[in-house]
Chain A
């Protein structure tokens, strides 16, 4: 496991810190002139107003501005969940008003904060309807890359759970793909046991990871933990994203997870978005903070 906070990467200007996830298992600098790009954002927690970030709407707005200003507009923007803090209708409405300014098409998958209470999941579905995803999960193809979007926040038991129905669907979906097709998997909670003591894991995630092993280049992108952590297992690269709302402590460095209040000038350096570019079958993941550029 490799922590890669924005703060450690002081040279975060320009193109940001980039590492390529290649089939050969090495991290390399992102190649310029990519075939196509997409953007991942995560954990906006609209409705949160504590000192860790009293203006989560403002930082989401700033994130949207950065993405809209990218010289190469992404094929799409994927929000990997926790759009809202408490699944309230007005929080979904506020989030939509900001995310609606994105020039690129938007996809959203739910986090557990978007599914609180008896109506949370329905409110999420009403706010971000997706006819291709009747059960929440779905897949799509762009430029020869197969994208799989998973939901591991419904039917929470002890940790994130995919469930039998979704795993069965995933097995069928992946069976139709060739081994050399680049695969990108989205989820909210990390699929692997990143830090189970804080619930930063998916209890049946290993079943999904086992299905991904036969592919030569797999990238698994998630949110939930509000910090950049990368991990590699064989041909599978995992990368958790920074939040647009507030940072959380590094695993095990606090009595519990939760909003981490950093000195105000440091906050924007801990928030950001992720640009992913494809050159051939190689994905280059570049995490960019809101502090610079």
Chain B
């Protein structure tokens, strides 16, 4: 119930255009990248700083979401398992699947223009 009230307040705050302190503290929910047929779909997502990207494994095969510079690592994601990663700072984050290293994806983090 608390959650519903909070989201109502958040919606109300957005409607009247008020800055909401709580929203700045917790990362904004961002796009979902599906892992399907040994591909990250979409292969590239662009998000604002502070966004959380969700990765979900739709394959019958395990995959990982592993930063090429080890900035983050989902470890093994079984079928239907999800992994959330927030991106605080602007930059280009390359990642791959450790089990199938020819699978690549990119998260571009930049402030909205």
Interface residues of A (CB under 8 A from B): 50, 52, 85-88, 112-113, 116-118, 120, 156-159, 198-199, 255-259
Contacts and interface: CB of A to CB of B under 8 A. Distances in A.
B60 A117 contact: no
17 contacts: A85-B62, A85-B76, A86-B62, A86-B76, A88-B76, A117-B64, A117-B75, A117-B76, A117-B98, A118-B73, A118-B75, A198-B38, A256-B59, A257-B61, A258-B38, A258-B59, A258-B61
Interface string B22-44: 00000000000000011100000
A257 B62 contact: no
Interface in B45-88: 59-62, 64, 73, 75-76, 78-79
B38 A116 contact: no
Query: Which of A88, A116, A255 gathers the greatest number of chain B CB atoms within 10 Å?
Result: A116
Contact of B62 (A116, A118, A256): A116
Given A118-B73, A157-B101, A256-B38, A86 B78 contact: yes
A45 to B, nearest CB: 9
A247 to B, nearest CB: 12
Interface in B78-111: 78-79, 98-102
B102 to A, nearest CB: 5
Contacts of A157: 101
Contact of A257 (B38, B39, B64, B76): B38
Contact of B101 (A86, A156, A198): A156
Nearest to A157: B101
B76 A259 contact: no
B37 A113 contact: no
B9 to A, nearest CB: 40
> B59, B64, B73, B98: which has the most chain A beta carbons within 10 Å?
B98
Given A85-B78, A117-B73, 9 more contacts: A50-B60, A88-B76, A156-B101, A157-B101, A199-B101, A199-B102, A256-B61, A258-B38, A259-B60
A158 B98 CA distance: 10
Interface-centre pick from B62, B76, B98, B99 (highest chain A CB count, 10 A)? B99
Contacts of B59: 256, 258
Nearest to A47: B78
A87 B76 contact: yes
A159 B73 CA distance: 19
A116 B60 contact: no
B62 A159 contact: no
Q: Which 8 A-B pairs have the closest CB atoms?
A: A117-B75, A86-B76, A256-B38, A258-B61, A156-B101, A256-B37, A116-B76, A255-B37
